């Protein structure tokens, strides 16, 4: 993967924590900073598709935890064995 250099300002306390973590883990401070940038990028990414694309019919009220579990389990069973009644 190609890298691009950038400059950022960071809190000295954060840098001290990064320095200690890098020493403890045996990796470079830059690697920890790259990991942090990647986590920040992924946390702020806007996805093209929704995370959940399935919908389920329900009773028109908030279902209990057991009802949600059973509904999802029935849908999965139906997908893996289409002959099963939903």
Per-residue pLDDT of the chain in tens (86 residues, 90 and over written 9): 799 999 999 999 999 999 999 999 999 999 999 999 999 999 998 888 777 766 767 778 888 999 889 988 988 888 887 665 54
Q: What is the pLDDT of residue 31?
A: 96
CA separation for the pair 24, 42 (Å, rounded): 26
Q: How many beta carbons lie within 10 A of that of residue 67, not counting itself?
A: 13
Q: What is the pLDDT of residue 30?
A: 96
In the chain the beta strands, taken as DSSP E runs, fall at none
**Helices marked H in 26-64:** 29-43
Q: What is the pLDDT of residue 25?
A: 97
Pair of tokens at residue 77: 């069973």
């Amino acid at each position: 993967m190609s890298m691009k250099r950038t400059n950022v300002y960071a809190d000295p306390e954060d840098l001290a924590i990064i320095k200690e973590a890098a020493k403890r883990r045996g990796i470079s401070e830059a690697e920890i900073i790259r990991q942090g940038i990647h986590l920040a990028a992924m946390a702020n990414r806007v996805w093209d598709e929704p995370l959940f694309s399935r919908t389920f019919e329900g009773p028109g009220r908030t279902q209990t935890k057991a009802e949600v579990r059973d509904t999802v389990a029935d849908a999965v069973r139906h997908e893996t064995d289409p002959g099963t009644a939903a």
